[in-house]
Structure formats: C-alpha cells, structure tokens
Chain A
Amino acid sequence: MQDHRISRRAVLAAGGAVLALPRLARAQGAAKPKVTVISQWSSGSSGAAMMALGKEIERQGGVWEHNPVPGFTTEMMNKLRAQIIAGDPPAASQLKGPEIAAWSKIAPVIDLDAMVKAAGYEAVVPAELARLSKPHGHWIALPIQAYRINTLFVSKKAADRVGLTKLPATWAEFNAVAEKMKAAGITPIANGGIKWDDGMKWEIALCGISLEAYRKALMELDAKTLKGPEVLAAFRQFRNFGNWSDPGIAGQDYTTFVPRFMKGEMGMLLMGDWAAGIYKRGGFQVSDYLVGPAPADDGKIAFDLNSDEFIFWQKKEIEYQEGQKLLAKIVMSKELGPLFCQITGSIPVRTDTDLTAEGFNDQQREASRSMAEAAKSNRVVLSLAHNMAQTNQITAAMIDVLTEFLHDNRISPEEGQKRLVDAVDNVR
C-alpha cells in the first residue's frame, strides 16, 4: 500500500513540476518574526483595521502577511481547512465561538497560557470570552473585538412622528411603540429577511425576555428551558416582529432598507451595533437615529455578545513562533482598542480600555460600559445567530426553524417551539 502511494505521488508530482513553471520563487525573510493570518476582512473598515494591525507588527520589527478570503465565513474556513490539509496552517486565523474548540482538535495549536498570565489578561476580559478561548483548559485563541447584538436603532424621523423621545425599555413598551408607528403608517420593524438576520431577531427577543432562559436554552441546550414559557414567549414576540415588518422582506441584506429606515418609512431596527458604521459610511449623522440596548423585561442589564478571535496554529519555524508571540502581545495589549476597534467601531475586549480617548464614539462608550458592567454581574450571554453559543451544526439547525417560522404565519408559536426542540434533538 505504502509504495503504491509513493508512486502515485511521484507521478502526480512529475506532472505538477511541468505545470509549476511560472511559479514564483518566494524569498524567505531572514529571522524576522513573521505573522501569516487568514481572515475574511479583506476590505472596508475591517480591512483597514487589519492593515493597521499589520503596520503595528511591522513597526515592532515583524513581517506581516495577511491573506484575506473575501466572502462569507464559510469560504474562509474552506481556505483554513485546505491549508491544514496541505500541512501549512497560518500562524493565526480568524475563528469564533465553539468552533475554536472544534478546530483545535484537527490540527495542533499553541498554548498561550504563559503569555496570558504575564499580561494579566484573563482578569480584564469577560469570563465568557475566556471560556471560549481556552476550551481544553489552556488559552489557544485570543479575542480581538466584541460587538453587542442586542442593540435597538430607531429612526429619528419615525420617532418624531410618534412622539418617541426615549427608547422602549421593555418588550411591552416596544410593542406599544410599534403599534403607534403602524397607526401612523410607518412599517414598525426593518428586517432584510435572510437567515442569520431572522435568527438574530429571535435571539434578541429571548435575551430581553429572560437572560437566564437564554443561557439555559441556547448556551446549555437545557431541554426543559427549551420547552419552557420563556422560549414560547420569544416565539410570540418574534411573530410580532414578522407581522410588523414590510411584507416585501425576503432575501435582502438589511442594508438595502437603510434609506427607507432613515426616511422614517421604517421605524425600528434590531441589529448588532456594527450597523452604526454602515450609517456613517452612507453619510448619515448620529442625529438621524436613536440607539441603545434592546428592551429587557427585568430592567437589568443584558449583553448578547458577538466576538472575533484569532486562533494560533503550531508552526515549526522559529520566525513564525516569534511572530506569534509578537501578535499575541499586541492583541492582548491595551493599545489594541485604539488601534483596531476605533477603525471598525467595535468594542475593545479589554474591559479596562480607556474609551474616553478621542476616536471612540458615544455608542462605543455606552456599549463598552455595558459590557464591563454585564461582565461583572455575570449578565453576558453569547450570540446564537453569530455562532458564539453553539457549534455550527446546532446553530444552523436552529436557525432553519426560526427563519421558516418567521416567513410562514401558518406555523404557530407552539409549533415553532416544538420544531426547535426537535431540531436540537436531531443534531445532538
């Protein structure tokens, strides 16, 4: 068997050599610390933030090679898989949530414990993020930025028309505002109607109904809670969202509806706080909308967290090992916030980052305070729709149920809940 394999390889390699003629010989840098990174951040503000990170690496004497895989996360993971199969993983790659644990089983990763300890890092990041970054007891990944999912944006024009000055604090208040908007001829909810967006709206509903139920149902997959009244209430609220959305929603990126939202034709948008960056780029002012945390029925703080991390892959070459140390040092430092998050508009993961500095905006400051406070009182949960709470198998199965429910009024909330339970059981 063995020699057969070798001969096959030899034959293929001979063929390959013929084709390899135009290949460029790559000059190897001497012994400078080198960092290769795969991410999906190819352009726009995330691309710019990665560029800033690269510049910082170079400033500190390293070599930076960023290979972005544009498109969805899936394409990036294909690239990572391909590199791993080819025996050449990058020094670090973008990954998130429980996928960090899953992927760390298929190729060796490095143990960052010593560096994390030296930097005193664990004490200053939310415990939920620390848990994701050290799935088997050791730090193998580092978070770089966070976003708040449960964020409510209200169009200023729509708010003015119904006399709204303060964001609704509970779902009951929210629903009252929506009814008022509807009566005023405004489409109360802006939704694009693609899978992750639908799933996220449901998750925001549950997060505001009961944080405890969210944690048990979505993060621990507790069967009793999944079948419980809070999850059912989330389905009911989710149905409201559907009824209050434009019937024309389907298969559109939510950004398609930003013009109508800003004109006041649509009232409220439940979306991660990155939406603010999109308004800014579209030339809208902070005064064009109200923004703050989504409703929470118990009146307490709740933080539905989305975060991006770098996982560090084991490399034999010394220059990569040095490069990984350099990258880890920069990522864990307090400077990462001003360096990276200021560009993307995200929340620095270090809760001790000083956001009063120029360059951060009020929304970032509010969200960051909220995250620090929630972290202190154990009120942080992980996003389902953004693959933070569960592995992709379970997430995708649940989102299938949610998106079908939203677009089909014939499915009752009870039936929706039953399907959700079944979907989880089938994958588990």
Chain B
Amino acid sequence: MPRSRLLSRLAIHATLIAFAAFYLVPLLVVMLNSLRSTEDISHAGVINLPHELVWSNFSETWSSYCIAQHCTGIQPYFWNSMQMVIPATIVSTLLGALNGYSLSLWRFRGDKLVFGIMTLGVFLPEQMRLVPWVIVLRDVGLFNTISGLVMIHIVQGLSFTTLFCRNYYVSIPPDLLKAARIDGAGFFRIFWRIVLPLSPPILIVTVIWQFTGIWNEYLYGVTFSSGEHQPITAALIALSARLSDAPQYGEQSAAVLLAAAPTLLVYLFGGRYFVRGLTAGAVK
C-alpha cells in the first residue's frame, strides 16, 4: 500500500472513531446505570461507575417487574410491539416501494400533485393527528387494538416510504426501462426484474426508518391501546415513575437497552444490503 494511501486510511478511521466516541457517550451512561441499584444511584449521583454490578436489573425488568396488576416485566409488551411493528413495517415498505415506483418511473397525470400531498403528510405533527385518529379508529371499530395501531402506522408511514423510494428511483437511468418496455415487459415485470434488484439500499433505509419510528412511538401507543395490550414504550415510561415515586434509573436503563435490541439487530443485519454495483448486474 502506498504511503499516502495508508495515511488517508488512518485519517478516515481516526475521524470515524472520534465520531463514534461522541455517539457512544450517552449510551455508556445508560449502560453503566443499567448495572446500578437505585440506592447506588441516589447516593452517588446519576453519572457514575457502578458500586457493584447489579445484573438482576435486566432479568427483573424483562420478566418480573410489575406494571399495573401484571408482574410480567416488559416481556409481553415487547411481543405486543413486535406484533405491531413487523406487519406495519413490511406493508408500509412494500407499498412505499410500489408508490415510489409508479410516481417516479411510470408517471401519470397529476403525479406531481399526488406526490406533493403525500410529502406534506410527513410534516403533520403527531399531536395534531391524535384526535382525528380517535374518531377514525372509533368509526372503523379498531379502538384499543393492535390492528388499529398497525393501520395508523401504515397510513402515516406511506408518506415517508413513498418519499424515500420515489426519490431513489428517480435517478434510475430511463434507458434501463425503455429497453425492458421494448421487450414487452409490463408494470409488475419491470418492478420485479429491474427496479427491485436495484432497491436493497433504499428498502433497508426505509425499513430502518419505519421499524425504529414505530418501535419507539409512545403517544399513540398509550392512547390507542390498553392494559396488557400496550406496546413496549408504554412499559418503558411506566418504569420512569413520576412525582410520588423515585425514578428507577437502573431498571429503566436496563429496560431501554432490552427494548433497543431489536432495532440494533435490524441495523446490523440490514447493513449488508448497503451494497454497490447491483445496477451493472441488472442491465445484463
């Protein structure tokens, strides 16, 4: 390896490591606290090394912590969230890819207007959408169900997934499609044979966005579900007791780390889809 190249490699890694350190500091505090007891934190302050390692924070929050009358830990809420996030992510990503494809490569009259309206959807603050959703859920009879939450996240998510996919597909060279059309390929054939193989990077970005957003959503989660059917965020907030209760930062930190595990897995496994060079393969 030539010297200059070695130096530039080193510089790149040094920069990335510096940034990584900045990104990891808050996580470090959370990790340390997840191993501390409530007594330790209230005696030695919220930022400190563990006095002794309390691994039981994890097992307790996972399976025996009491929320209301159910001493089941965050575990059932974790599965509730899974039931919500998996269908909502898959459906909204697929529909977003289809929407993006038809809005960018197939085109129709008024497509710009449609895209504009859908893009406006990403800006609607969730506070403002709360009461209308109550009315809609009541009318479709999905109030207090996980299906209702799935529906909300699909409808709202479409704005994002469509935006991401459409703006990714726009830069696909038109020649690629022209050739296929001459060969007699239809709407779905082109999508399936040409567009989808080009899509892994954007699809994984979309999945990351949807999965993370839905998994961490709290306001709708608590308003539109109840009791044992609440998502994980409700359980997380339940651990950060208010006012008349001492905040239990230890258990709460452990719970947050447990709750973040699925998203981290999505990031790690999704990573391998950030690949280059599929374009070349698709043409041939």
CA distance A40 to B136 in the complex (A): 25
Question: Does A22 reach chain B (CB closer than 8 Å)?
Answer: yes
Question: Does B130 reach chain A (CB closer than 8 Å)?
Answer: yes
Q: Flag the segment in A60-68, A168-176, A181-189, A208-216 that touches B.
A: A60-68
What are 26 A-B interface contacts by the 8 Å CB criterion? A12-B136, A12-B139, A13-B139, A19-B147, A22-B147, A43-B66, A43-B67, A44-B241, A45-B245, A47-B66, A69-B222, A70-B67, A70-B240, A81-B134, A85-B135, A86-B137, A88-B143, A147-B244, A256-B46, A259-B44, A274-B244, A277-B246, A278-B42, A278-B244, A283-B42, A283-B43
- Distance of A145 from chain B, by nearest CB (Å): 9
CA distance A346 to B223 in the complex (A): 28
**Complex contacts, B44 vs chain A, CB 8 Å:** 259
Q: Digitize B222-244: 1 where CB-to-A-CB distance is under 8 Å, 0 elsewhere.
A: 11101100000011011111111
A17, A22, A82, A260 interface centre (most CB from chain B within 10 Å): A82
Question: Does B140 reach chain A (CB closer than 8 Å)?
Answer: yes
Pick from B39, B224, B244: contact of A344, CB below 8 A: B244
A43 adjacent to B65 (CB under 8 Å): yes
B67 adjacent to A47 (CB under 8 Å): yes
Interface residues of B in 141-170 (CB under 8 A from A): 141-148, 150-151
Residue of A nearest to B42 (CB): A282
B38 adjacent to A42 (CB under 8 Å): no
A44 adjacent to B246 (CB under 8 Å): yes
Question: Does A118 reach chain B (CB closer than 8 Å)?
Answer: no
Question: Does A258 reach chain B (CB closer than 8 Å)?
Answer: yes
Secondary structure class of chain B's binding surface, majority of residues: helix
Given A50-B68, A253-B247, A255-B246, also A19-B150 (CB < 8 A): yes
Residue of B nearest to A12 (CB): B140
**Complex contacts, A97 vs chain B, CB 8 Å:** none
Residue of A nearest to B150 (CB): A19
Q: Flag the segment in A72-80, A224-232, A319-327 that touches B.
A: A72-80
CA distance A88 to B142 in the complex (A): 13
CA distance A274 to B227 in the complex (A): 26
15 extra A-B contacts, CB within 8 A, seeds A70-B238, A78-B222: A17-B141, A40-B242, A42-B67, A43-B68, A44-B244, A47-B67, A47-B68, A47-B241, A67-B226, A68-B68, A70-B235, A72-B242, A78-B219, A86-B143, A259-B45
A16 adjacent to B140 (CB under 8 Å): yes
B245 adjacent to A277 (CB under 8 Å): yes
CA distance A260 to B46 in the complex (A): 11
**Complex contacts, A40 vs chain B, CB 8 Å:** 242
**Complex contacts, A78 vs chain B, CB 8 Å:** 130, 219, 222-223
CA distance A122 to B218 in the complex (A): 40
A43 adjacent to B238 (CB under 8 Å): yes
CA distance A23 to B238 in the complex (A): 24
**Complex contacts, B145 vs chain A, CB 8 Å:** 20, 23
Q: Digitize B186-227: 1 where CB-to-A-CB distance is under 8 Å, 0 elsewhere.
A: 000000000000000000000000000000001100111011
Given A44-B246, A277-B245, A345-B244, also A66-B68 (CB < 8 A): yes
B68 adjacent to A278 (CB under 8 Å): no
Question: Does B69 reach chain A (CB closer than 8 Å)?
Answer: yes
Pick from B143, B147, B245: contact of A21, CB below 8 A: B147
CA distance A67 to B135 in the complex (A): 21
B234 adjacent to A70 (CB under 8 Å): yes
- Distance of A38 from chain B, by nearest CB (Å): 8
CA distance A12 to B141 in the complex (A): 9
Interface residues of B in 24-70 (CB under 8 A from A): 38-39, 41-46, 65-69
**Complex contacts, A54 vs chain B, CB 8 Å:** 69
**Complex contacts, B247 vs chain A, CB 8 Å:** 253, 255
B67, B146, B226, B246 interface centre (most CB from chain A within 10 Å): B246
A259 adjacent to B42 (CB under 8 Å): yes
Pick from A82, A255, A260, A274: contact of B223, CB below 8 A: A82
CA distance A277 to B246 in the complex (A): 8
B143, B219, B244, B246 interface centre (most CB from chain A within 10 Å): B244
- Distance of A47 from chain B, by nearest CB (Å): 6
- Distance of A23 from chain B, by nearest CB (Å): 5
**Complex contacts, A16 vs chain B, CB 8 Å:** 140-142, 147, 151
CA distance A65 to B142 in the complex (A): 20
**Complex contacts, A69 vs chain B, CB 8 Å:** 222-223, 234
Question: Does B138 reach chain A (CB closer than 8 Å)?
Answer: yes
**Complex contacts, A281 vs chain B, CB 8 Å:** 38, 42, 245-246
